[in-house]
Each structure stands twice: as structure tokens, then as C-alpha cells.
Amino acid sequence: MKGKAYVDAGICGFDATVLSEAGDPLGKATVSIETECPNLKKLGASFQVDIMDVVQKGCTSETFKKLVGVIPVMHCPCPVTYGVFQTIKIAAQLALPKDVSLSFLKE
């Protein structure tokens, strides 16, 4: 299965397309991120993650640590991180694809 998302990253302008592919929902997923973000490019063309690590440990998982390890503290959490997590779960058939949105209100 595959999970794919387009992420409008916001003010930085480094939008991303995230693709996760998984054969076995309890095994590994391959994640690729297409972006011009110099920080996320440090992850390489693609990388493998343990699906159950993501599902069971969430923000304490090795995958999360790997992602925040390349993102400057000022930009954490980057919205692409959420896209990665959700596409992994969708690829593993542990979540359904559904758009999300976040709008900032000026007061």
C-alpha cells in the first residue's frame, strides 16, 4: 500500500510531497520526501522506518527523532513531520486518508 500527501509547509515556503510505501503493516515502510527544504534533504532520497515504532511510540519514536534531528529547533514541529507520520499509517492500512487544515486567525 501507499500513502501520499502534499504538505503546504507555510511561511518557509518549502512545501513537500511525502510518499510512504509498506508491504507488511507490521514491518517496514519506505518514506520519500520531495522538497526544496535543505534541512529535510539531509534525510536523503528515501529512508526506511519501523511502522510499529511509529504507531506505538509516536513522538518518542526513532522516526520522530530522525526527523527532528534535521529540523532546526525554531521550526519544530514542522508540518511535514505530521505528513510523514500520517502517510506511514495510511500505507500500513492503520489510518484512512483525510485532509487536515490549520488556519491562523489575526486578532
Q: How far is it, in rounded angstroms, from Cα 47 to Cα 8? A: 21
Number of neighbours of residue 9 by Cβ within 10 angstroms: 18
What value does the mean pLDDT take over residues 38-63? 95
Give residue 13's pLDDT band: very low, low, confident or very high (50, 70, 90): very high
Q: Is residue 14 within 8 Å of 37, Cβ to Cβ?
A: yes
Q: Strand 2-7 vs strand 47-50: parallel, antiparallel, or unpaired? A: unpaired
Tell me, what's the pLDDT at 32?
98
Q: Phi, psi (5° rounding) for residue 6? A: -100, 130
CA 81 to chain centre: 4
**Cut 0.85: pTM above it:** yes
pLDDT tens digits for range 26-42: 899 999 999 999 999 99
Cα 94 to Cα 86: distance, rounded to the nearest angstrom: 9
Report whether pLDDT(3) > 90.
yes
Distance CA 43, CA 57 (A): 20
Q: How does pLDDT run across 59-99, given as a tens digit for each residue?
A: 999 999 999 999 988 888 899 999 999 999 999 999 999 99
Residue of 105, 20, 31 lying closest to 66 (CA atoms): 31
